[in-house]
């Protein structure tokens, strides 16, 4: 059922006011607004119906109304006026970030988001599973030590030292590297496993003593698929009146700190900005909190997420515009920092 225009107008006014003041909004306050030229009694009737429909809530009988999660949902989907020009806040500061490691760069971005928005931020490094293996190198160091180097088609090189048992000849290792490069390059990193490695090894008639190399390589390749999540500015939550009650604050902070991984939404289509309101987040610890996410791209090959967490009462319009702005800036920053690596 579609709401009447007047109901929408009232709901929008309530949410707008409540976002600013954090106080329940009464009919008289609303009636004083120039654009709502009805009497407070009329508005009261409308509010009562909006409550029946589930868009508003009453903290107690003789208080004004506050928006319910459903109310916020309607607000973000239909009612709120998205700022025309993308928030350019902080783009210059963003472009100042000079860090060359992707993970630390994302962490810095998280700090910047926290500082500029005054909200707790959640950021994730991208998952790069889809990347193809470009080259694989085994660099001999001494009799039993080798450095494995994995060069992906796009993204950063990673390396690891491995120690074999003595009895593995340098030649054999070199041959292994050659065979691997012949057979395994050009395939997705995610499809390279210890087993596959061993098949190749056996096919080439090479010693089983090369086992440790397989194990370490698997570990190294796995690390391309792992995603890091950074949480910054937890303390920003405490400035909100909704967390005046230490219990609530602690519950939320506990949840956030415990395993940040679960905060990142399943990588379904987040296009532009995604808003999760209260219970939509799933976890009961988040039932009074909202999150706003934007995705950023790392070249063609992966995407990560930046976001903020706060009470359900937040300025969704402004914050999602800001976050979209950050994401856009971050795309540029990544392109420029890793110009050569992620084409």
- Residue 204 C-beta: closest distance to a copy of itself, Å: 21
- Residue 218 C-beta: closest distance to a copy of itself, Å: 11
Question: In which residue are the tokens 């063609």 written?
Answer: 300
Between residues 63 and 339, which has the closer beta carbon with respect to a copy of itself?
Answer: 339
- Residue 133 C-beta: closest distance to a copy of itself, Å: 12
Between residues 47 and 113, which has the closer beta carbon with respect to DNA?
Answer: 47
* 147 contact choice in a copy of itself, DNA, none (CB below 5 to 8 Å, kind-dependent): a copy of itself
Between residues 74 and 177, which has the closer beta carbon with respect to a copy of itself?
Answer: 177
* 156 contact choice in DNA, a copy of itself, none (CB below 5 to 8 Å, kind-dependent): a copy of itself
Q: Name the β-bridge partners of 163.
A: 145
Please tell me the distance from the alpha carbon of residue 81 to that of residue 122, in angstroms, as a whole number: 25
- Residue 20 C-beta: closest distance to DNA, Å: 14
- Residue 56 C-beta: closest distance to DNA, Å: 9
By the 10 Å C-beta count (0-12 exposed, 13-18 middle, 19+ buried), 328 is classed as: middle
Tokens of 299: 């070249």
* 62 contact choice in a copy of itself, DNA, none (CB below 5 to 8 Å, kind-dependent): DNA
Which residues sit at the interface with DNA, rule CB under 7 A?
23-29, 37-42, 44-45, 47-48, 51, 58, 60-65
Which residues sit at the interface with a copy of itself, rule CB under 8 A?
100-101, 134-135, 137, 139, 141, 145, 147, 149, 151, 156-161, 163, 219, 223, 232-235, 238-239, 243-244, 246, 249-250, 253-254, 256-257, 340-341
Between residues 174 and 254, which has the closer beta carbon with respect to a copy of itself?
Answer: 254
By the 10 Å C-beta count (0-12 exposed, 13-18 middle, 19+ buried), 144 is classed as: middle
DSSP string, 49-81: HHHHTTSEE-SSTTS-BEE-HHHHHHIIIIIS-
The sign of the torsion formed by the CA atoms of 254, 311, 308, 68 equals positive
- Residue 60 C-beta: closest distance to DNA, Å: 4
Between residues 61 and 81, which has the closer beta carbon with respect to DNA?
Answer: 61
* 141 contact choice in a copy of itself, DNA, none (CB below 5 to 8 Å, kind-dependent): a copy of itself
DSSP string, 197-255: HHHHHHHTT--GGGHHHHHHHHHHHHHHH---EEEE-GGGGGGSGGG-SHHHHHHHHHH
By the 10 Å C-beta count (0-12 exposed, 13-18 middle, 19+ buried), 252 is classed as: buried
Please tell me the distance from the alpha carbon of residue 134 to that of residue 132, in angstroms, as a whole number: 6
Between residues 70 and 335, which has the closer beta carbon with respect to DNA?
Answer: 70
């Amino acid at each position: 059922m579609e709401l009447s225009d007047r109901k929408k107008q009232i709901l929008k006014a309530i949410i707008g006011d409540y976002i600013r003041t954090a106080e329940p909004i009464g009919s008289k306050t609303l009636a004083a607004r120039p654009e709502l030229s009805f009497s407070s009694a009329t508005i009261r009737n409308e509010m009562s119906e909006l409550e029946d429909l589930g868009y508003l809530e009453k903290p107690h009988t003789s208080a004004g109304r506050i928006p319910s999660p459903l109310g916020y949902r309607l607000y973000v989907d239909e009612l709120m006026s998205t700022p025309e020009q993308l928030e350019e806040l902080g783009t210059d500061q963003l472009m100042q970030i000079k860090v060359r490691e992707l993970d630390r760069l994302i962490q810095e971005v998280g700090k910047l988001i926290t500082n500029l928005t005054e909200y707790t931020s959640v950021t994730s490094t991208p998952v790069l599973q889809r990347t193809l293996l470009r080259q694989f190198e085994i660099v001999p160091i001494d009799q039993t030590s080798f450095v494995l180097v994995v060069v992906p088609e796009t993204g950063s090189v990673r390396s690891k030292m491995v120690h074999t048992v003595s009895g593995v000849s340098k030649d054999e290792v070199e041959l292994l590297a050659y065979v691997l490069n012949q057979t395994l390059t050009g395939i997705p990193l995610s499809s390279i496993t210890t087993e596959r490695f061993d098949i190749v090894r056996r096919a080439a008639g090479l010693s089983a003593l090369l086992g440790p190399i397989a194990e370490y390589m698997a570990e190294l390749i796995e690390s391309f698929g792992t995603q890091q999540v950074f949480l910054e500015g937890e303390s920003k939550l405490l400035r909100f009146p909704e967390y005046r009650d230490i219990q609530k604050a602690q519950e939320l902070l506990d949840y956030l700190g415990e395993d940040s991984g679960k905060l990142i939404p399943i990588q379904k289509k987040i296009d532009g900005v995604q808003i999760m309101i209260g219970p939509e987040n799933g976890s009961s610890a988040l039932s009074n909190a909202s999150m706003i996410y934007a995705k950023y791209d790392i070249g063609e090959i992966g995407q990560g997420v930046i976001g903020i967490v706060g009470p359900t009462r937040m300025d969704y319009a402004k914050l999602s515009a800001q976050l979209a702005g950050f994401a856009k800036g971050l795309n540029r920053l990544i392109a420029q920092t890793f110009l050569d690596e992620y084409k």
